[in-house]
Amino acid sequence: MIISTSDFHLGHEMCRIKMIEDFLLEVAYKAETLILVGDVLDLWVKNIYTVLERNKRILELLSELPHVIWIKGNHDCEMECFKPLLKRNIKIVREYVLEMNKKRILFTHGHDFDRELQSFFWLAKIGAWIIDYLGKFIRFNISENIYGKKNYQKILDEFKIQVLNKHGNDYDIIVTGHTHVAFDDRTTNARLINTGDWVESDECMYVIFKENEEPVIKTYTK
């Protein structure tokens, strides 16, 4: 069994640390491979030493799993210095391809398909610092509050089009992170899966891949 989720954002004030710890202990430990689809750390808002210090337990739990594929997200930037500290069970990659049940499955974080981020990079960075600061006091849905629900839906649709343009003909299933909004879109030529995040979403989700079964998306609740 393979389990995949994304966007822990360890280090962010709004990161659900306890939920992630429990998820790793209760669910992820059963997987032969755990695939983290990017933004495991949030190095936009905190430096690597603060992130490591605050999340020792989670990083320990990850190092105890049999096999972890860590796909680099845009918030995992500058984590190369942290690579030597990782146990050998953890592999850091840009993208990952899995063949299962005669299907080709691509795992990629997805920031390359985010046009807003490409156009307003510094604004996004400054915004992230402000949101992280506010996150000390309140938890809120970042994307919907910044863009409005309708506009964010347009951005999501555009994101999906970009993903399909690049990879739609080469893969049967494409798993991304980055949007912080979960979706399971089967209307297109490739099935698009996204499990949202462990920061701003009300529900934390993951996807299970098993031999001879369709992938299933699950919600983790306490």
Q: How many CB atoms lie within 10 A of CB 181?
A: 19
Q: Kindly determine how many residues on this chain lie close enough to bind Mn ion according to the rule CB under 5 A.
A: 2
Does the footprint of Mn ion cover residue 42 (CB under 5 A)? Answer: no
Nearest residue to 39 (alpha-carbon basis) of 67, 11, 68: 11
Task: Give the pair of three-digit tokens for residue 111.
Answer: 């920031």
Of 12 and 167, nearer to Mn ion (C-beta) is 12
Of 102 and 118, nearer to Mn ion (C-beta) is 118
Of 37 and 104, nearer to Mn ion (C-beta) is 37
Part in contact with Mn ion (CB under 5 A); list of ranges 31-39, 50-58, 151-159, 161-169: 31-39
Q: How many CB atoms lie within 10 A of CB 133?
A: 11
Return the residue nearest Mn ion (CB atom).
Answer: 39
Of 180 and 191, nearer to Mn ion (C-beta) is 180
Q: Under rule CB under 5 A, which residues in 4-23 are in contact with Mn ion? A: 7
Of 167 and 180, nearer to Mn ion (C-beta) is 180
Whether the CB-CB separation of 201 and 182 falls below 8 Å is answered with yes
Q: How far apart are CA 204 and CA 212, in angstroms?
A: 25
Calculate ∠ Cα 198-201-207, nearest 5°: 60
Q: How far is the CB of 149 from Mn ion (least distance, A)?
A: 19
Part in contact with Mn ion (CB under 5 A); list of ranges 33-41, 57-65, 110-118, 151-159: 33-41
Of how many residues is the chain composed? 222
Whether the CB-CB separation of 60 and 29 falls below 8 Å is answered with no
Whether the CB-CB separation of 14 and 42 falls below 8 Å is answered with no
Q: How far apart are CA 13 and CA 109, in angstroms?
A: 21
Does the footprint of Mn ion cover residue 132 (CB under 5 A)? Answer: no
Part in contact with Mn ion (CB under 5 A); list of ranges 32-40, 56-64, 98-106, 158-166: 32-40
Does the footprint of Mn ion cover residue 39 (CB under 5 A)? Answer: yes
Residues near Mn ion, by CB under 5 A: 7, 39
